Amino acid sequence: MQMIGKAGKAAAIAAIAALALTACGRSEPTTAGGASGAAGFPQDSSIGVALPQKTSENWVLAEKLFNDGLNGAGFKADVQFANGGVSEQQNQISAMVTKGAKVIIVGAIDGAQLGTQLRQAKDAGATIIAYDRLLLNTENVDYYVAYDNFKVGELQGQALLDGMKAKKPEGPYNIELFAGSPDDANAKVFFDGAMSILQPKIDDGTLTVMSGQTSFEQAVTQGWKAENAQRRMDTLLAGTYGSATLDGVLSPNDTLARAVLTSVKAAGKQLPVITGQDSEVESVKSIMAGEQYSTINKDTRKLVEHAITMVKDLQAGKTPEVNDDKSYDNGTKVVPAFLLEPVIVTAENVKTAYTDDPVLGPLTK
């Protein structure tokens, strides 16, 4: 896989940090981290988990896994979804503090809008773990647990190139770019990771973004909503692809990939090579049917498991393990992180990628 060089990656990280966003790198495992929870706490303590809206299958699964895992370990799980938006999540975190939560795990709707509540939690002695999405512009976050999201973008960018080359060995190729929601700190990280692979090919003429919409701001999909992606694809097809062929689409996740494919089908166009993420059931089926080209397997079970391992360490008075204490600058501090490795899935490995997944394993046999 083509990788961005050390200097380029450092520059990308610095640029994202300047926007209170983040890219990520890799360093050797370490136990560096905050001292929060060093004294431990009772095993039957309340543990808060603040999750965003139910915008994907993985968030719904995370709710069950957190409830089962925390309660099974003897904690009192308080898992909340904020389907009503940021203000609801703010209120939920405040309520968790009031209930005496010793650790609060936060999957933020908007990581820059929780500063007051996080300060309240820290003042009450709670440890804060950012889950999947970085908490921005605050010193009141102790740890971050996530998949390596810059690498997710790199994998998506390379998959787009590989898929188009397999379908049409000789370029050039016409493509369009989609990004996630601008209020999600991960969205620009995914996009920048992908563009570290795609931009050189745009510069040398191998790729042409026919719409001219090449910036993150032009490519965003508010709220990660399928209808927004489908509407934008409808507009792009009508305005740009009268007689031109659309060879590929960079899609940041499976929900948006399927929305784009729906638009292309409705327009009667040839299906482009399209990327995704999250290993949603319908997209895995689509890959097996030869429509969606790729997804990213970020096993939610492993991510939740490690978050709960961090809670157990804190309860026992131990410092949780991290494997990156340099890359995740949230605009105020560098947050110690534990990163898991994402895995690209295409038709070539779809039958083996999910062998231990209770849902996708039987589906792909």
- Strand segments (E) across the chain: 46-51, 76-81, 103-106, 127-131, 143-147, 173-177, 207-209, 248-250, 273-274, 295-297, 337-340, 343-345
Percent of the chain beyond pLDDT 90?
Answer: 85
Q: What is the mean pLDDT of residues 127-146?
A: 97
- As given in the structure block, the two tokens for residue 146 are 């996530």
The domain limits of the chain are 22-147+299-340, 149-297
* Tens of pLDDT, residues 225-243: 999 999 999 999 999 999 9
Q: What is the mean pLDDT of residues 308-334?
A: 96
Listed range (19-33, 85-99, 195-209) with the worst mean pLDDT: 19-33
**Residue 35 reports pLDDT greater than 70:** no
Give the pLDDT band of residue 100 (cuts 50, 70, 90): very high
Taking alpha carbons only, the member of 122, 51, 106, 47 closest to residue 78 is 47
Give the pLDDT band of residue 149 (cuts 50, 70, 90): very high
What does the DSSP assignment read for 265-320? HHTTPPPPEE---S--HHHHHHHHTTSS--EEE--HHHHHHHHHHHHHHHHTTPPP
**Residue length, the chain?**
365
* Tens of pLDDT, residues 273-291: 999 999 999 999 999 999 9
Task: Name 249's bridge partners.
Answer: 176, 274
Tracing tokens 């299958």 back to the chain, one arrives at 57
d(CA 107, CA 125): 20
**Residue 11 reports pLDDT greater than 70:** no
Superfamily of domain 149-297: Response regulator (3.40.50.2300)
Mean pLDDT for the chain? 90
Q: What is the mean pLDDT of residues 12-27?
A: 40
| Contact predicate 195/236, CB 8 Å | no
- As given in the structure block, the two tokens for residue 267 are 């327009």
Percent of the chain beyond pLDDT 70?
Answer: 90
Give the pLDDT band of residue 38 (cuts 50, 70, 90): low
Superfamily of domain 22-147+299-340: Response regulator (3.40.50.2300)
Question: Which pTM value belongs to this model?
Answer: 0.83
**Residue 190 reports pLDDT greater than 50:** yes
d(CA 144, CA 119): 17
Q: What is the mean pLDDT of residues 213-224?
A: 97
